[in-house]
């Protein structure tokens, strides 16, 4: 490496700190100094004061929960550092940037090291400010010396740095493979979407089933994970440098590993991932000229569903629906969202099944409606609405183009939502042993809730299009607005109930409460009504002139 990594690191750092570019040096160096003071002086004193003087929690009680809480905390840091950054890397395959780098004879290893170092400052700062919240209470409870405190922070820092490196390594390796074609980029986006559930669900499962697995394996399964080694080492350092008396012997029995073994495993793992990255870059994965050969996809005959839509709506509007469905269905990211929606919708009946006897139609219908509303916003709003501003020009340049486009999008949602809600509703029906009329009722409420959420999502995206940009403030605002509207609509019945009671219409509310169907409908119906209003407002805004 002949220094190229440094230029890449500087550029990456400038990108990471673009928000404070006018005062970058002062803000970053000031934050580092303040962070060190916070970590070594302010946090231990402040947290110690709150624990002992305000909350009056005995030191020993805090010390007792340390091993478990430390493991959970470090696992959380691990996930937070690993998944979002990996997901971001997959969302944004930087082929354009690679072209510039490669035209300057830069090696993959230099890209790997440069992006890692560039990100280190910001992630490091986050750790500097957040780690004391985890470490300081225990350091205070055990009266850990300054050397011990510094070693505890250093261990957290090593865990953090090795995790960032690992995330950067995996992200770069996947990008080098998936950046090869537009299909690959599409798959990368889909992978980014399902990454969190795929990574989080097994860990949650691990938490639930750890005792059973430990029995089978004959050891604590958590000892197999690097975050456990880091967490245990922090706990062990706290005990070694403690000022109140607990000894190491008892702790080893609780944790399963001694401090030297924890240190060895954590150190070994960190060195291993660093060497793995340095060795494998330019050998097993290369960001190079040969990687991005474009593949050509040829479309074939339309499937039976699309032909059916054309037959039912044979005019130009039918063409708009069919082309919209094709565009949606060919993006792996959209399919991943849809699959995720279905998987989450299926999780609820499973939950209901294992907690049999605690649920009935009302709670299931309301719960499912709320969740499907959220998912409708997520899947059909945001990025799936329009790819670019230029696409919007094309649509706006046609007579009533925007109105017809939005209407076609709404109909596409109806066609896509039907199969998604059908399966979980039927599963519920089986689990709850519902009759046919109730199955149809549950199916209808699920459908209108998901559609209501989709209308909210589309309406907000139409009013404030963010195109394919998932990192902009506008995109986040849209998602928050959409979620907020679903929550507000779910509370409409409650708000209306209070208002009507104050106005003396108690009888009406009582009448609604006595009928199960009316009660469910009163809870579920506001969302599609709000959705319709939002989509009309969005359509109007989108067709407005600049």
Residues 445 and 524 sit within 8 Å (Cβ to Cβ)? yes
Q: Which is nearer to other proteins, 227 or 467 (CB)?
A: 467
Q: Which of 323, 472, 501, 510 binds other proteins (CB under 8 A)?
A: 323
96 touching other proteins, by CB under 8 A: no
Q: Which is nearer to other proteins, 299 or 354 (CB)?
A: 299
Q: Which is nearer to other proteins, 289 or 327 (CB)?
A: 327
397 touching other proteins, by CB under 8 A: yes
Q: How far is the CB of 398 from other proteins (least distance, A)?
A: 4
Q: Which of 7, 24, 94, 331 binds other proteins (CB under 8 A)?
A: 331
Q: How far is the CB of 286 from other proteins (least distance, A)?
A: 23
Q: How far is the CB of 196 from other proteins (least distance, A)?
A: 24
253 touching other proteins, by CB under 8 A: no
Q: Which is nearer to other proteins, 293 or 514 (CB)?
A: 293
540 touching other proteins, by CB under 8 A: no
Residues 397 and 427 sit within 8 Å (Cβ to Cβ)? no
Residues 453 and 417 sit within 8 Å (Cβ to Cβ)? no
Which ranges in 313-465 belong to alpha helices (H)?
316-329, 332-354, 361-380, 389-396, 401-432, 436-463
Q: Is 200 helix (H, G, I), strand (E, B) or coil?
A: helix
45 touching other proteins, by CB under 8 A: no
187 touching other proteins, by CB under 8 A: no
Residues 539 and 406 sit within 8 Å (Cβ to Cβ)? yes
Size of the site for other proteins (CB under 8 A): 40
Question: Going by C-beta distance under 8 Å and a sequence separation of 6 or more, which residues neighbour residue 546?
Answer: none
Question: Going by C-beta distance under 8 Å and a sequence separation of 6 or more, which residues neighbour residue 408?
Answer: 317, 320, 321, 324
Interface segment toward other proteins; rule CB under 8 A; list 37-45, 101-109, 250-258, 385-393: 385-393
Three-point CA angle 441, 447, 449, nearest 5° = 105
Which ranges in 142-181 belong to alpha helices (H)?
146-178
Q: Which of 247, 388, 472, 501 binds other proteins (CB under 8 A)?
A: 388
Length of the chain measured in residues: 546
Backbone angles phi, psi at 482, to 5 degrees: -60, -45
Structure-token match 């969005």, residue found: 538
Residues 20 and 27 sit within 8 Å (Cβ to Cβ)? yes
99 touching other proteins, by CB under 8 A: no
Q: How far is the CB of 314 from other proteins (least distance, A)?
A: 8
Residues 163 and 77 sit within 8 Å (Cβ to Cβ)? yes
Question: Going by C-beta distance under 8 Å and a sequence separation of 6 or more, which residues neighbour residue 465?
Answer: 385, 386, 389, 392, 542
Interface segment toward other proteins; rule CB under 8 A; list 75-83, 106-114, 324-332, 521-529: 324-332
Q: Which is nearer to other proteins, 307 or 330 (CB)?
A: 330
Report residue 40 as tokens. 């070594």
- Nearest partner of 423 among 372, 475, 374, 468, judged by Cα: 372
Q: Which of 29, 207, 260, 394 binds other proteins (CB under 8 A)?
A: 394
105 touching other proteins, by CB under 8 A: no
Interface segment toward other proteins; rule CB under 8 A; list 31-39, 140-148, 310-318, 445-453: 310-318
Q: Which is nearer to other proteins, 95 or 206 (CB)?
A: 95
404 touching other proteins, by CB under 8 A: yes
Query: Rule CB under 8 A: which of 276-305 touch other proteins?
Result: 294-300
The C-alpha atoms of residue 153 and residue 171 are separated, in whole angstroms, by: 27
Q: Which is nearer to other proteins, 393 or 504 (CB)?
A: 393
In terms of Cβ atoms closer than 10 Å to its own Cβ (0-12, 13-18, 19+), residue 298 is: exposed
546 touching other proteins, by CB under 8 A: yes
501 touching other proteins, by CB under 8 A: no
Q: Which of 122, 126, 213, 395 binds other proteins (CB under 8 A)?
A: 395
Question: Going by C-beta distance under 8 Å and a sequence separation of 6 or more, which residues neighbour residue 500?
Answer: 506, 508, 509
Q: How far is the CB of 188 from other proteins (least distance, A)?
A: 14
7 touching other proteins, by CB under 8 A: no
Q: Which is nearer to other proteins, 397 or 436 (CB)?
A: 397
Report residue 531 as tokens. 């959705």
Q: Is 291 helix (H, G, I), strand (E, B) or coil?
A: helix
319 touching other proteins, by CB under 8 A: yes
Q: How far is the CB of 296 from other proteins (least distance, A)?
A: 4
By CB under 8 A, name the binding residues for other proteins: 182-183, 294-300, 314-320, 323, 326-327, 330-331, 387-401, 404-405, 545-546
């Amino acid at each position: 490496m002949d220094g190229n990594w440094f230029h890449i690191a500087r550029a990456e750092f400038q990108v990471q700190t673009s928000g404070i570019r006018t005062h970058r040096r002062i803000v970053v160096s000031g934050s580092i100094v303040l962070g060190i003071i916070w970590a070594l002086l302010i946090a231990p004193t402040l947290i110690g004061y709150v624990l002992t003087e305000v909350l009056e929690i005995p030191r020993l009680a805090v010390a007792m929960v340390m091993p478990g809480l430390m493991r959970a905390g470090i696992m959380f840091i691990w996930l937070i550092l690993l998944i979002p950054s990996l997901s971001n890397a997959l969302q944004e395959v930087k082929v354009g940037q690679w072209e510039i780098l490669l035209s300057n004879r830069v090696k993959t290893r230099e890209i790997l090291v440069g992006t890692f170092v560039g990100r280190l400052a910001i992630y490091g700062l986050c750790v500097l400010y957040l780690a004391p919240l985890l470490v300081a209470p225990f350091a205070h409870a055990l009266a850990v010396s300054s050397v011990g405190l510094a070693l505890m922070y250093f261990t957290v820092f090593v865990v953090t740095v090795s995790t960032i490196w690992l995330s950067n390594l995996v992200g770069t390796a996947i990008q080098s493979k998936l950046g090869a074609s537009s299909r690959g980029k599409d798959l990368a986006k889909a992978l980014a979407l399902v990454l969190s559930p795929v990574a989080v669900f097994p860990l949650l499962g691990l938490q639930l089933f750890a005792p059973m697995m430990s029995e089978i394996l004959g050891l604590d399964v958590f000892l197999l994970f690097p975050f456990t080694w880091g967490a245990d080492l922090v706990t062990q350092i706290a005990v070694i440098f403690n000022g109140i008396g607990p000894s190491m012997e008892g702790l080893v029995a609780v944790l399963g590993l001694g401090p030297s073994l924890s240190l060895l495993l954590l150190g070994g793992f960190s060195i291993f991932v660093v060497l793995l990255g340095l060795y494998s870059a330019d050998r097993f994965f290369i960001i190079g000229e040969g990687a991005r050969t474009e593949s050509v996809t040829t479309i074939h005959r339309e499937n039976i569903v699309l032909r059916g839509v054309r037959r039912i709506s044979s005019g130009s509007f039918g063409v708009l629906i069919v082309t919209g469905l094709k565009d949606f269905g060919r993006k792996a990211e959209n399919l991943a969202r849809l699959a995720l929606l279905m998987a989450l919708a299926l999780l609820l009946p499973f939950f209901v099944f294992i907690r049999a006897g605690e649920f009935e139609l009302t709670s299931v219908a309301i719960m499912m409606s709320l969740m499907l509303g959220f998912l409708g916003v997520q899947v059909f709003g945001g990025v799936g609405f329009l790819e670019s501003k230029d696409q919007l020009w094309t649509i706006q340049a046609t007579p009533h183009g925007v109105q017809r486009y939005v209407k076609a999008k709404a109909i596409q949602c109806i066609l896509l939502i039907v199969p998604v809600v059908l399966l979980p509703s039927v599963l519920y029906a089986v689990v709850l042993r519902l009759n046919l009329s109730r199955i149809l009722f549950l199916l209808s409420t699920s459908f209108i809730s998901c559609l209501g959420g989709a209308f909210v999502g589309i309406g907000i995206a139409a009013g404030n299009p963010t195109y394919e940009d998932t990192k902009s403030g506008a995109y986040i605002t849209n998602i928050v607005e959409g979620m907020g509207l679903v929550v507000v609509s779910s509370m409409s019945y409650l708000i209306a109930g209070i208002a009507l009671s104050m106005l003396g219409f108690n009888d009406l509310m009582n009448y609604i409460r006595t009928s199960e169907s009316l009660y469910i409908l009163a809870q579920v119906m506001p969302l599609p009504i709000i959705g319709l209003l939002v989509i009309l407002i969005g359509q109007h805004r989108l067709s407005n002139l600049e």
